[in-house]
Structure 1
Amino acid sequence: MGLRICLVTPFSWSQPSDVNEHVRGAADSLRRRGHTVTVVAPSTRAADLLDGRRSLQRGVVGDVVAIGAAVPRSLSERVALPVGVRANLAATLALGHFDVVHGFEPGLPSLSSTALLEAETTTAATFLSTERIAVPPRKNQRAKFLARVDALLGTSAAAVERASERFPGDYERIPLGVDTTAFAPAKKRRVIVVELAPGQSAIAKSVLRLLKSEPEWEVLLARTAPLTRRPTIPVAVRSRAYIRSLLKPDTRRAALAEAAIFVPAPGGSARLLLEARSSGCAIADPAGVATQPELAAAAVGRLIDDDALRERSGAEMRSEALAADFDRVAERLEQVYERIRKRRRGTTAHHDDGDPLGERDWIVVDLHMHTHRSHDCSIHPQALVDHAESEGLGAIAVTDHNVFRGALETVQLARGRKLIVIPGEEVKTDNQGEVIGLFLHEEIPRGMSFADTIEAIREQDGIVYVPHPFDRMHAIPSPATLLRHLPDIDVLEVYNARLLFEAYNDEALRFQRKYRLLAGAGSDAHVLQGVGTGALRMRRFDGPEEFLLSLRTAEVLRRPKSLAYLQSLKWAAQVKEKVL
C-alpha cells in the first residue's frame, strides 16, 4: 500500500538548487514505486504562489505546493522563512493527511524546519551540506526538534558529522542521488571539465598550463555558483578553453556526457562530482590537491597519456554512481519510512471489544507521589492513605526515589480499604533520567542504564512508566533514547502537576498522541497538599492487566495548585525535619 509523503525543501522551487535536485529525483522515484508525493516549497514565481493558494482554497494538494516567497539568505541561496506562511503550511499538512513529513536542510530556520516541528505524523530530516546549519539553537529548541524528528539522515559522512554536532542522535547515510539514465556516458571527446569554485582558481590554472602541451584536448571551466571568479586563460589556449555555467541540469548533462576527464574543486559541488561519475568521466582528484594544485595537472596528464587507464577509470566511476541512483535513494527512504511508521501503535481510542471494564465504577487515580522514604519528602504512609481517601482518590501509586520500602508500607496500611495502592519506584538511571516501575515486588537499584532498568522492571512483570519525559529542568532521557525504547514504554506521563513550565507537559502530550502511547498523569506530590493535583479518571481495576485495559479509556484530570505554595510547604517540612 502506497504512502502519502510530504517532502519539504527550504529553497525556491523555481530556482536551481542542489537540494531541490535531490528532492525532485527522490519524489519522482517514490512516485514510480506507488507512493503519493507532495513537494512543499517556497517560490519566487508569482504564478507558482497563486497556484499554491488556489489549491489550498479548493482543499486539495497536488504534486507541488508553493508556499510563500523565498527570502534571500546569501548571494547564492534563497531560503523561505516561516514568517507569514505558517497558516498555509498548517493547512497543507492537514489537507494532505500525510504518513510521513520529510524536511531537507532543517538546520536553517526555514519552511523545512517549521514543517518538522508542526507535523503531527512521523517525520524525517535530511542534512546535505556542512554549511547550511545556522548558529546553534538554544538547548530547548534542539531538544524540541530532536523529540519531533523520527529519522535523522545525511548524504555524506561530513554532513552527518556536522549535523550531529548541533543535533546529536542516531544518523543514517543515504545516497545523494543521481539520475543515471539522464546522466549517462556518450561518445567521449577529448574534453576536460574543470570545476571552478571560490578560492580554487589555482587548480584551473595548473590544468590550463598543461593544455599548452596537449594540442588535441580542450578544457571546459565549469561555474556552479554565481559570481565565481574567472581565471585568466593564457592566450595560447584561448581557442581550446572556455567557461560555461553549469547551474542547470540540462547544461551539466550535455557537458559531462562527452567529457573524458573531470577535475573537481576541493569542497566543490558533490552533485556535480556524482553526475560526472554517472556520465563515465575519469576523475582527477589526487590527495593533497587543495594545498598542491599542480597535483591536479599531473593526474590529468596521466589520464591523457593512458587511454586504457582513462576508459577503465570512467567505467569504474559509472559503476559506483549506479549505486547512488535515485531509485536506490527511494528504496532506502521507503525502508526508513516503513520503519519509523511502525513506531506508532494502533489506535487506543476505539477497540473491537468497546470498554472491557465498562461495568466498573469510575475512580480518580494519582500515579506519581512520594513518602518519607524519599530523601526529599516527609509524608508518612499512614497520613498519605488517610489523605488520599479524604480527597476522594480511588487509587494511588507510591513511587519513591530509588527505594521501595515506602510503597510496601503504604500497601500494608491500605489493606481492607477501598483505596488501591500500586507499589512502585522511581528509579534513577545512569545518565538518562528516571523510569518508574509500577506493580513491583522488590526494590530496583539505581544507576543502571535505561535499557537495564526497563529489563529489571520487566523481570518483575511490572509496568514501565516514563515520568516527566520533557522536563528540561531535571535529568531526562534524550529523544534518541525515548525513540529507541518506544516499544518498551507502557505508559508515558503527559501531565505532572509539579512541572515549572506547562510547555513540558504539552510536549509530552504531543509525543504520546503522535505514537499513540497510553497516557499517565500524577501529582508528583512531596507534600500532602499536592496529592491528587494531577490524576486520571479511569475504570476501577484489579492488577496490572486490568490497569492497562482501564488506561485505554482514561482521561487526564488537571487540578493544579500553586507550585510556589506547594514548594514552600515542601521546603518547610524539610527544614522542620532537620531541626527535629
Structure 2
Amino acid sequence: MARTRWSRPSRSPRPPKSRPRPESLAPLSIVQFTPFPFSERGGINEYTRRVSEELARRGHSVLIAAPSGGRGGVAETKSALAGLRDDPDALFAPGEEPRVLSMGGGVKIPRSGRRQAPVSVDMGNRIEALLGSGRFDIVHVHDPFVPGFSSNALRHSFSLNVGTFHETEERPFATQFARPLLEIFFGRLDARTASSRTSARLLNRYFPGSYEITHPGIDPVEPAQSEVPPLKIAFSEREEPGALRLFLRALRRLPPDLEWTATVYADEPGAVQLRVARQIRDRIKVIGPDQASLSELLSHSNVFVAASNGPRPDQAAVRQAIASGAVPVTTTIGRYVELVGDGQRGLLFPAGDPVTLAGQIQRLGEDGRLRERLRSACGKFEIETWPEVADRFESTYERLVARRHDPAGNEALRKKLRDRPLIDVDLHMHTDHSSDCATPVKVLIETARDRGFGAIAITDHNEVSGAREAAKVAEEMDDFKIIVAEEVKTGEQGEVIGLFLKEKIPKGLTMDETIAEIKRQGGLVYVPHPFDRLHSVPDYENLLDMVEDIDLMEVFNPRVAISSFNEEAERFARKYNIIPAAGSDSHVAQGLGAVRNRLHDFDGPEEFLEAMREAEITRRHKNLVYVQALKFIQTTGRPKAAKREVEAPRAVKGGRRKARGPKQGRGSKRAAGKS
C-alpha cells in the first residue's frame, strides 16, 4: 500500500525549557542502564533517552549503557573502556548529548507478546570494567527485573543505585522462582521509583519498599484539533504487534457513513505492513519521526487509541494524548485506567475486543458533546513535562548524595597523628563476660600483646564489665590500651557496637535509641557484620535510615561464613564513604590475629576516627571450623567450673600455638579416682 506523506502542522510544539541545576547540587557523573538495545524505540528507551538528555543539559555527565542489537558499537565501547584508567572523563561525550555505550550482545528469551530483552552473554566483563572503578556517583538501572543485564549492573556497582521499574505484569519466574536472588540485587538499590502506580503496586506485593512514582513526561503543545469532519484518529505502533492488528480490525467495523481518517505513528514506517480492506485503505496513513513528532500528530488528532493488552503498553503516548487534547480510547489494563480513570478522561474497552473499540470510536465520532466533555476533563489533568520528571530524579540524586559522608575529615589532625608510631588494633572481640565466650580477660590481653596488638576493643554482648576490667589491667601497661565497647542487641533491628563507651547500654532499645545513647556518651557507632544473615543484623532499609550516624562499618569479619556478606559490607561502606574497619569477632583466644587494623597511635575517639581514615586492614587466614569448634568446646562442651580456667595459647616450635586446658595430668586423675 502506498504511503501518503503527512504534512507537518503549521503550529509546532513549544520546546520544553531546560531547568538549571540546583546550586546545592554539584555536577554528577551518571550512567543509565536500559535493558533493550538503544537502536530499538520503545517506552523504556524513550524514557531513558529523555531523562538523560535533560540531565546532560543541566551540566551532569551522563552515559547510557545498553545491549547492542548487533556488533555495531561494541568495538568502540571496548576501546573506550580500555582507556578508562588513564582518562576516566574521556567516556563522556562533549556537549549536551549523552554518549551511548553498546555493551555487547545477548540471547533473547521468547516471551509471549512481549518485546524480548536480551539476556547477557558477553556483557558482564564490560559492565564490570565500566562500574568497578566506582567512577560514577549514580548508577540508574531501568527495569531491574530483566535478568543478566540489569542484575549485572547492580552486581558490579559500587555507586549509589537508583532503580526505575516499568513492568506492569507479574513475571512468575522473577516473583516466585528467582525471588531470593532478586531480593539480593534489589537490596542494593538506594532508591526505588516506578513509572506508574500499577508498577509500584505490583512491586510492593513481592518486594515491599518505598517506590516514588515518576511518570513519563510529555512535550508541551498547544491543542490544534479541528471539529470539522473527518474524525482524526491516531495510533502509536510502539505497543506490541497485536495491538495494531486489533486497531485495524476495529476500523473495518466502523459504519461506512462515518467520516474518519487514521494515522499510525511508527519509528520505522517502512517496516509497518497494513492489511486492510480496499474500501478503507485510503483513509489510513503511516508516518514517522522524519515527518512529525508524536506530540505534533496528537495535537491535531481528535482521538488516540491505545490497544495494548499488557505486554508493551505505551503509557507515555496516552499521557501525551491527554496533554495534547486527543481523547484517549484505551484497554482496561491497569496502567491505562490509571490515566483515563473510569471514563472521566477517555473511553475504555476490554483488551482484545475490536467490536467494543469500534463502538467507542463511533460514539466519539457521532457525539461532539461527549468528545468536548472528555477533552475538557483532559485539560484539567496535571501531567508533568520531561524537565519536571528530570527535576524529580535530580531531587532523588541530591538526597542520596547528601547522605554520603564527607571523606575529607580533619586533615590537620591526621597530619599530627602521622608522627606517631603505627599500631595494630582489633575492633571486635569477646571475653567470658559474654554468655557465648569463655575467654578470661587476662588471657585475652596476654594473647593480644603476644601477637603484637597495641590496642583492642572488647565488645561483649550487652555488657561493658569485661571491657572495664580489661581497661584497669591495661592501665599498668605503657604499650597497650583498651577501647571500652559493647555489642548491643536492639529490640528488632539487629546489633550495633558502641566504641569508647563510659557505661552499659541496655539491650532491647530501638536502633535510634541505641545510637542516641552511644552518641550521648561521646562514643562511635560501629556496625558489625552488617550483611551476615546468620547474625542478627539490621536490614538494608534500616542501614539507609541510620547511614548518617554510622561512624565505621565492619567490612571484614573472619567469622562470616559466606564471603559475599563481607563484600556487601565493603560495597555499602564505599558508596557512602563510611570509614571501613575490621574485627576478628573472636570468642576464643586462638581467633586473635585473623585481622588487623594498622593505624597511627591515638588518644580518644576523635583521634581514633581520623587515624582509621588512613588505616590498612590486613587479613590472615584462620580455619573457621577450627575456631568455631574451640568456641563450642570452651563454652558448651566444658563444665562451668572449667570454663574460667581457659589459658592463653602456648607458643610452640615453629611459631604456632595450641590451647592449654586446666592443668590436670594423669596423676591428678588417678588421685581424683582414689578419693
Partners of 2:104 and 2:591 in 1: CA distance: 48
1:498 to 559, 578, 585: 559
Kindly provide the amino acid, as one letter, of the partner of residue 549 in structure 2: D
Kindly provide the amino acid, as one letter, of the partner of residue 573 in structure 1: Q
1:73 to 104, 109, 119: 109
- How far did residue 139 of structure 1 move? 6.9
1:317 aligns to 2:369 (yes or no): no
Partners of 2:487 and 2:134 in 1: CA distance: 41
- How far did residue 30 of structure 1 move? 1.6
- How far did residue 89 of structure 1 move? 2.9
Kindly provide the amino acid, as one letter, of the partner of residue 400 in structure 1: D
1:541 to 596, 602, 619: 602
- How far did residue 42 of structure 1 move? 1.9
More off after superposition, 466-475 vs 252-261: 252-261
Contact 2:194 2:213 in 1 (8 A): yes
Partners of 1:454 and 1:443 in 2: CA distance: 13
Contact 1:217 1:240 in 2 (8 A): no
Secondary structure at the aligned position of 2:199 is classed as helix
For 1:6, the equivalent position in structure 2 comes to 31
**1:531–1:105: structure 2 CA closer, same or farther, 3 Å change rule?**
same
Unaligned runs of 5+ in 1: none
1:112 to 150, 155, 163: 150
**1:214–1:571: structure 2 CA closer, same or farther, 3 Å change rule?**
farther
Q: How does 1:313-392 map to 2 (within 5 A)?
A: 313-317=374-378, 320=381, 323-347=383-407, 351=411, 354-392=414-452
For 1:180, the equivalent position in structure 2 comes to 220
- How far did residue 559 of structure 1 move? 2.7
**1:356–1:148: structure 2 CA closer, same or farther, 3 Å change rule?**
farther
Partners of 1:81 and 1:438 in 2: CA distance: 47
What does the per-residue CA deviation read over 1:321-376, in whole Å, with 9 as the maximum and x for residues that have no partner? 6x332111111111112221223323359935543322332222111111222221
2:326 to 261, 276, 281: 281
More off after superposition, 18-27 vs 542-551: 542-551
- How far did residue 222 of structure 1 move? 8.4
1:438 aligns to 2:474 (yes or no): no
Contact 2:595 2:620 in 1 (8 A): yes
- How far did residue 252 of structure 1 move? 4.5
Contact 2:225 2:302 in 1 (8 A): no
More off after superposition, 192-201 vs 279-288: 192-201
Kindly provide the amino acid, as one letter, of the partner of residue 517 in structure 1: I
What does the per-residue CA deviation read over 1:17-49, in whole Å, with 9 as the maximum and x for residues that have no partner? 211111111122122222232211122244433
Kindly provide the amino acid, as one letter, of the partner of residue 276 in structure 1: A
Partners of 2:187 and 2:483 in 1: CA distance: 30
For 2:123, the equivalent position in structure 1 comes to 85
Secondary structure at the aligned position of 2:496 is classed as strand
Partners of 1:452 and 1:199 in 2: CA distance: 57
**1:52–1:72: structure 2 CA closer, same or farther, 3 Å change rule?**
same
1:256 aligns to 2:298 (yes or no): yes
Contact 2:219 2:295 in 1 (8 A): no
Contact 2:431 2:441 in 1 (8 A): yes
- How far did residue 194 of structure 1 move? 6.8
For 2:69, the equivalent position in structure 1 comes to 44
For 1:35, the equivalent position in structure 2 comes to 60
Contact 2:164 2:194 in 1 (8 A): yes
- How far did residue 104 of structure 1 move? 1.0
Q: How does 1:294-309 map to 2 (within 5 A)?
A: 303-304=364-365, 306-309=367-370
For 1:124, the equivalent position in structure 2 comes to 162
Contact 1:49 1:67 in 2 (8 A): yes
Contact 1:261 1:281 in 2 (8 A): yes
Partners of 2:152 and 2:470 in 1: CA distance: 48
1:155 aligns to 2:195 (yes or no): yes
TM-score normalised by L of structure 1: 0.86
**1:94–1:204: structure 2 CA closer, same or farther, 3 Å change rule?**
closer
Contact 1:142 1:167 in 2 (8 A): no
1:458 aligns to 2:497 (yes or no): no
* Larger of the two Rg values belongs to structure: 2
Secondary structure at the aligned position of 1:368 is classed as strand
Contact 2:448 2:592 in 1 (8 A): yes
More off after superposition, 542-551 vs 522-531: 542-551
Kindly provide the amino acid, as one letter, of the partner of residue 135 in structure 1: A
Contact 1:218 1:241 in 2 (8 A): yes
Kindly provide the amino acid, as one letter, of the partner of residue 394 in structure 1: G
Contact 1:204 1:231 in 2 (8 A): no
Partners of 1:72 and 1:53 in 2: CA distance: 22
Count, aligned residues: 575
What does the per-residue CA deviation read over 1:219-256, in whole Å, with 9 as the maximum and x for residues that have no partner? 66889999xxx999899x84687596999995755653
Secondary structure at the aligned position of 1:148 is classed as coil
More off after superposition, 160-169 vs 209-218: 209-218
Contact 1:220 1:244 in 2 (8 A): yes
TM-score normalised by L of structure 2: 0.75
For 2:185, the equivalent position in structure 1 comes to 145
